[in-house]
Chain A
Amino acid sequence: MESVDLIYKTIYILVIFGITLLIATYSTYAERKVAAFIQDRIGPNRAGPFGLLQPLADAGKMFFKEEFIPAKSNKALFILGPGVAMLIACMSSAVIPFGDMLIIGGREVYLQAIEVNIGLLYVFGVVSLGVYGVMIGGWASNNKFSLLGAIRAASQNISYELAMGLSIIAILMMTGSLSLREIAAQQAGFNWNIWYQPLGFIIFLVCAFAETNRTPFDLPECEAELVGGYHTEYSSMKLGLFLFAEYINIFVASAVMATLYFGAYNFPFMHELGALISDDPVIANNVITILGVVVMFAKIFFFIFFFMWVRWTLPRFRFDQLMKLGWQILIPLAILNIILTGGGILLKDHFFN
């Protein structure tokens, strides 16, 4: 790899990392504002204009709280838990294509941190590791409620990973590639996967809610039954890291949904618009790419809003209902979706070739 490429990649990775953290920070603010809007309240409005400095105030408060480690807990693992949660949450945005390529001085610059030909499997692998932070933290707390929360998180994640994987397989059958860049490129214009995979998208969406431990599937931190769930014993910024990791997971889940089903950086009439703007292909390409990044983030923000909307609208499931939904409804539906997709592909080959 050339040194220019290396420097560019380093900068890009740092920028994506910063954006991830920034979005996660302001998700907490957005969550309160959305909750306030839905419940007909005003929400945070004291720190700064419109309460915009509220996340900073929260972080300051978190840092100055007492660091509390329970006696008889496993100290090393107790500290490791939130760290693992945060590390794994930050890993998956590396393969997501936030934009197509820019052409700067004749050099093609892709707006994606690393391109691997198994990008989707990478995301899936990282998501499947996400439960370790919760499990380690919950177990190391030496508290029955924390342990129950951790065990709920484990069983919930394993159950919903299956349905999630099966719903992704239908996408793979259509695109024939595991690379997220390739999947994004195939949805050029308005040719989004959602038109072909509505059932798969609904399954994926439900599973994403369960994987990120969001309402209506936030059983691991169900305060009515488990005090505080897996983070009962946590205080200060260690608790903050757990909560922060959840918001990063929401951001990543939204980005993956936008990439897989909603055309990533593609928007309708993008090529026509490019031809309209300029005759110079380089300028046209760059303008379209930058617009594409804006569109991508608009899609991501919509899904983050959707996560919050659902949280403040739907009540929580019961645990046996959650398991029943995962194993008896979503997995058969996902298998049906695979069969339908396979049949559709065969029919298309038969009639339109």
Chain B
Amino acid sequence: MATTELLRVEGLRLAVARTELEVVKNVSFSVAPGEIVGIVGESGSGKTLAARSIMALEPPAIRRTAGSIRFEGKDLARLPPGELRRLRGSRIGMVFQEPMTSLNPSMLIGRQLDEGLALHRDIDAKERRALILDMLRRVGIKDPEGALAAYPHQFSGGMRQRIMLASVMLLRPALLIADEPTTALDAVVQRDVLELMVELTREHGTAVLMISHDLSMVARYTDRIIVMCKGEIVEQGNTQDLLRHPRHPYTQKLLAAMPRRLPKRDLSTSVEPIVEVRGLVVEYRGRQGFFRKEPGKRALHGVSLAVRPREVVALVGGSGSGKTTLGRAIAGLLDPAGGEIRFAGRPVRRASESWANYRLNCQMVFQDPYSSLDPRMSIADIVREALRLVPEMAHREKVDRVREILHDVGLDDTFAGRYPHELSGGQRQRVAIARALVRRPAFVIADEPVSALDVTVRAQVLDLFADLQQRHGFSCLFISHDLGVVEQIADRVIVMQDGQIVEEGDRDTIFDQPQNPYTVKLLSAIPALEGTASGGVRLRWRFDDMPHSDVATA
């Protein structure tokens, strides 16, 4: 048995030091040479801790209380620190989540890549340089020579993750641990990087332990999946079997939480749009120094769109496409350089007569539930503040309205007096939604409202949002990079790239017959789901036969 297994984790238990709190409970799994295994779980499931303890990289506050970790037949727990260090990097490599911080910003790329090689390989500088250049070329860096003398900040997130991957694969480790390797990247870049990772590790026969919260992403690339929940492994098995016939209720819950297309809603299309944007131009000013002015950057090049009453319009695109800028401009947070915004048939401009009315009727839900609530205000105060400027409303009435909307978003009376830090991410986002809706606005802009949430929480919040949208009947501009979510919630989809709308149409048309190559690329990054009889799903990848460029897009 020992010869066929590269890594064997047996009965691993991790606890918070000095307490009885166990964060990883009796976890056992193995990885065969060359195998790609995914660990899936939500935040707090202990997946990252379990993977990090393989490299003895768990945080100091966590200690191992039981279990063994055998790698190539050696028990890592018994290894002296020196030997463990030799193993790190050379036999076990690791790719971290945040490409911004996992490369040292003050070190040249060339020196950073050289570090590991010089430490673990007994070859001279010239050979090392040749190896590094080869690897950089392999991961799709266009100018490898130039990259050696560049600093990390000169590269985009996707490029940085490629460089990170190159630095790890240079040493040809037997096992690669990838902790949420692409979570910080947008869908298209994410796919490019993952394809590259899988290709590279296949070439070198490297086994991969891929940790992620994104079940569909893991399902696409892994042979086997381990599902973790609250520190325990609830289910593990062959990827296809596990998806089609999930046995554990938690796995079923995870699968059920994956966004899927709902039947098309019937909206009368003849009515006048409630919000209309015509030729909107937004420019970011360049630096205005004492002596010189740098040119600004045009973020939106004349964008026009319309949202009809009760309609949910999704605005999708990769990072840098201008979708957030558009949302902020429509919300009045940015002053457009040109074009106009019309609400209910009348143009709105700051300080105009219709502005106050627009302000009351247009609200926004933001992405990050941790920074969108003032930490020094109670939940009830946060929601009630939205009613401060509503004319002719008695205090009593406001209090009642706040309680009512908190009930609507599924928060009972005990929440009113609490403070944001006492709430979970999902609960905070519910508060943010309550705050946006308490005025009964006619139009809501939601900027990535669920992308910071865990999978199952995201499903709940999305359901809640859809339900509230049905009941209150507000129109919505739903900004998202996640096409899965968009497929579930949108009536109409607008695709943006580089500050322009490249494609627009109703949901089914966009998802089934996309015209623009960029839309196709976005769509190929997410699976279409088909439910199976046993409560599982079958994933179908759209446009998989399309040639996928090897050069990064961002």
B partners with A? no
